[in-house]
Amino acid sequence: MLIDESLVQTTLTAALRRGGDFAEVFVEDRRSSAARLDDGKVDNVTSGRDRGAGVRVVVGDATGFAHTADLTEAGLTRAAETAAAAARAGGGAMS
């Protein structure tokens, strides 16, 4: 698990305290690699890692979303506050 349960709870609490009716946290840690062949020989090899979290907050009929690569308590709290602000403003995505 990328973040522990208490950090998820802290993030959800931050979103709901700022007016959210519903909130959820998505966490992703994805690794990828690719190799390109040219005439049967390896021409290029690449690899990457996508890691971060998204927070969705619903206020009435509006949904706000924010994402972050900062998986600390401060980073996730900022994302929760941003998503809640977007939802209160009528919905949208912010980063």
Q: What is the pLDDT of residues 42-73, one digit of tens each?
A: 999 999 999 999 999 999 999 999 999 999 99
End-to-end Cα distance, the chain: 23
Q: How far apart are CA 24 and CA 56, in angstroms?
A: 5
Comparing 1 with 39, which gets the higher pLDDT? 39
Cα-Cα-Cα-Cα dihedral sign, residues 68, 29, 74, 54: positive
pLDDT at 2: 78
Nearest to 80 by CA among 25, 31, 42: 25
Q: What homologous superfamily is domain 5-89 in, according to CATH?
A: PmbA/TldD superfamily (3.30.2290.10)
